[in-house]
Amino acid sequence: MRISVIGCGYLGAVHASAMAELGHDVVGIDVDERKIKALAAGRPAFYEPGLPEILASATASGRLRFSTDIAEAAEAEVHFLAVGTPQTADTGAADVSYVDSAFSALLPHLAEGALIVGKSTVPVGTAARLAARLAAEAPHAGLAWNPEFLREGFAVKDTLSPDRLVYGVAQGDGGRAASALDHVYRAAIEAGTPRIVTDYATAELVKVAANAFLATKISFINAMSEIADATGADVTALADAIGHDARIGRRFLNAGVGFGGGCLPKDIRGFIARAEELGLNDTLAFLGEVDETNLRQRRRVVDLAVQDLGGSAAGKKVAVLGVTFKPDSDDVRDSPALDIAVSLQELGARVVVTDPEGLENALARHPDLGTAPTTREALFGAHLVILATEWNEYRTLDPETTGRLVGERRIIDGRNVLEPAAWRAAGWRYRGIGRP
Ligand SMILES: NC(=O)C1=CN([C@@H]2O[C@H](COP(=O)(O)OP(=O)(O)OC[C@H]3O[C@@H](n4cnc5c(N)ncnc54)[C@H](O)[C@@H]3O)[C@@H](O)[C@H]2O)C=CC1
Ligand SMILES: O=C(O)[C@H]1O[C@H](OP(=O)(O)OP(=O)(O)OC[C@H]2O[C@@H](n3ccc(=O)[nH]c3=O)[C@H](O)[C@@H]2O)[C@H](O)[C@@H](O)[C@@H]1O
């Protein structure tokens, strides 16, 4: 099929490349000339395993090209909208102005029978509003909402083999939108991917409900970690035990510094704001607690660090291992690791952060942040080590060789990924989150 992807940031760049990999003829459009030039040259603006490879092969085959000119989208049968919906500073609501402007820019270029497909995460009601505009201004085209569930670090795999497909379609469109989307996702459908065809509002809600549920699961286990710390219980064993109940499940029950990234935090805040707009002020109040519990984890780690440093961080060298919001990503948006590092630096510590992929983005946000290009340099002479993002190379650190580099053998394992007994046996003061 001929496809356009409008907005080639994280989601759009992956989606465009994956659609071309599936054999479609794709044009990626973005207003950011630098991004488009970099993508056309085969260089995504972010780290995502597997993306450079499919970007290169799709570009070389001629199935994928990029442009800043929306008119280049005119021949497409399906147009994916993948622009950003960031959090607005005052209310926390999702800012849909980029969706609106991309939609407006696209309207004059829609071919007969073209389908616009929203991928961006939007407040419920957005698709119905856009559909009303389409009916008035370009009735020869249709609209569907097809939320995206990919995870950073697994984005290519998640796009090529999603665990479900959700189509929000207009009532009474005669199955046209669903059949066009089935064409787009034929490979996944043939592989047995479940597909849910529903209305616009449900599709929009599925996306934010999924992220809200995942965020709630993480904050739930982090609340348990606070209780565990107060009572000497082990939150890791607790998670294993409750996780064996198939109704609960073990995934997303890892206690630690909490969730971050460009989506979970903003999506729960946007969801709360949307419920309030609907007059449902109390309905999602618990998500405010989920957010607060999450942010408290970062403060707990900072407090623990100060305590471990004898009551003051001033002048002490703290090695922070990891700065991205999770491993296999260079994304530092709302990263707990970055927040913890900055807070300790503000308290006077000599913070040295290291990360395999995230230092450039961290420095772009905090140019004064102390950083080191290697783990070894970060650790050298440190009074305290904080493992903040569970990159493989930190999970596999050897307590004895690490111990020879640092000034003091003190470590806070902010992701509960190290073996406490081994570290203690090597003379470390080991602290996890909610584990004795
Ligand atoms: N990053 C992720 O892992 C996922 C993101 N999402 C959702 O996808 C949407 C996009 O997120 P990201 O890709 O992370 O954002 P992003 O900020 O990386 O990219 C957004 C892109 O849209 C472009 N843009 C803005 N206005 C435009 C216009 N009028 N025409 C063309 N391009 C325009 C920007 O220049 C930017 O490159 C958001 O709604 C997000 O919640 C959903 C699932 C996964
Ligand atoms: O809407 C989005 O953009 C995406 O948001 C999340 O994906 P992502 O932000 O890539 O990252 P996750 O793997 O969900 O992790 C989010 C955060 O939770 C933390 N986390 C995760 C699991 C866990 O057990 N504990 C925990 O603290 C991670 O370290 C990370 O900071 C969802 O998992 C995706 O399905 C969704 O498409």
User: Encoding tokens for residue 367?
Assistant: 């140019």
| Residue whose CA is at the smallest distance from ligand 2 atom 16 | 259
What band does 384 get if pLDDT is binned at 50, 70 and 90? very high
Q: What was the pLDDT predicted at 306?
A: 98
Closest ligand 1 atom to 29 CA: 31
Distance 211 CA to ligand 2 centre (A): 8
- Per the annotation, binding residues for NAD(+) are 30, 35, 85, 121, 152, 266, 333
> How many Å is the Cα radius of gyration of the chain?
23
Distance 288 CA to ligand 1 centre (A): 25
Distance 98 CA to ligand 1 centre (A): 9
SS3 category, 354: strand
Residues paired with 225 in a beta bridge: none
DSSP 163: S
For residue 149, how many other CB atoms are within 10 A of its CB? 15
Q: Which ligand is nearest to the CA of 162?
A: 2
Q: How big is the CA angle at 130 (ends 128 and 134), to the nearest 5 degrees?
A: 115
Q: In angstroms, rounded to a whole number, what is the distance separating the alpha carbons of residues 395 and 374?
A: 15
Where does ligand 2 bind, in terms of residues with CB under 6 Å?
A: 121, 148-152, 211, 214, 218, 252-254, 256, 258-261, 263-264, 325-326
Which residue in the list 263, 319, 351, 384 is annotated as catalytic?
263
| Residue whose CA is at the smallest distance from ligand 2 atom 19 | 259
Q: Are 341 and 267 in contact (CB under 8 A)?
A: no
What band does 93 get if pLDDT is binned at 50, 70 and 90? very high
Q: Which ligand is nearest to the CA of 85?
A: 1
Per CATH, the number for 2-198 is 3.40.50.720
Mutate to test the pocket of ligand 2, among 156, 216, 218 (most ligand atoms within 8 A of CB): 218
Distance 219 CA to ligand 2 centre (A): 12
* Single-letter amino acid code for the residue at 72: E
Residue pLDDT, tens place only, 101-155: 999 999 999 999 999 999 999 999 999 999 999 999 999 999 999 999 999 999 9
Closest ligand 1 atom to 12 CA: 13
Closest ligand 1 atom to 152 CA: 3
Share of the chain above pLDDT 70, in %: 100
8 is catalytic: no
Of 268, 271, 250, residue with least CA distance to 259: 268
The whole-number average pLDDT for the span 346-365 is: 98
Closest ligand 1 atom to 101 CA: 29
Q: Are 163 and 193 in contact (CB under 8 A)?
A: yes
Domain with CATH 3.40.50.720 in the chain: 2-198, 215-431
SS3 category, 292: helix
Q: Within 13 A of 88's CA, how many CA atoms are on the CB side?
A: 15
Distances (CA, A) of 222 to 225, 231, 290, 296: 5, 14, 10, 9
Cα dihedral across residues 156, 161, 164, 167: positive or negative: positive
State how far Cα 130 lies from the chain centre: 26
Q: What was the pLDDT predicted at 307?
A: 97
Q: How far apart are the first and last CA of the chain?
A: 56
Q: What was the pLDDT predicted at 364?
A: 98
Q: How big is the CA angle at 90 (ends 368 and 102), to the nearest 5 degrees?
A: 90
Q: What was the pLDDT predicted at 344?
A: 98
Contacts of 230 (CB under 8 A, 6+ apart): none
Residue pLDDT, tens place only, 171-185: 989 999 999 999 999
Mean pLDDT rounded to a whole number for the chain: 97
SS3 category, 29: strand
Contacts of 412 (CB under 8 A, 6+ apart): 301, 304, 305, 308, 384, 385, 386, 387, 431, 432
Q: In angstroms, rounded to a whole number, what is the distance separating the alpha carbons of residues 37 and 218?
A: 38
> CATH homologous superfamily for 215-431?
NAD(P)-binding Rossmann-like Domain (3.40.50.720)
Q: In angstroms, rounded to a whole number, what is the distance separating the alpha carbons of residues 331 and 10?
A: 10
Q: In angstroms, rounded to a whole number, what is the distance separating the alpha carbons of residues 134 and 244?
A: 48
The whole-number average pLDDT for the span 42-53 is: 94
Q: Are 73 and 79 in contact (CB under 8 A)?
A: yes
| Residue whose CA is at the smallest distance from ligand 1 atom 11 | 84
The finding on whether 32 has its CB within 6 A of some atom of ligand 1 is yes
What does residue 319 show for φ and ψ, rounded to 5 degrees?
-90, 120
Q: In angstroms, rounded to a whole number, what is the distance separating the alpha carbons of residues 373 and 45?
A: 20
| Residue whose CA is at the smallest distance from ligand 2 atom 32 | 151
Q: What was the pLDDT predicted at 220?
A: 98
Dihedral angle computed from the Cα positions of residues 211, 195, 129 and 135, in that order, rounded to the nearest 10 degrees = 160
Containing 201, the helix (H) or strand (E) segment is helix 200-231
* Single-letter amino acid code for the residue at 132: A
Q: What was the pLDDT predicted at 403?
A: 98
Of 314, 283, 301, 287, residue with least CA distance to 385: 301
The whole-number average pLDDT for the span 345-369 is: 98
- Per the annotation, binding residues are 30, 35, 85, 121, 149-152, 207, 252-256, 260, 266, 326, 333
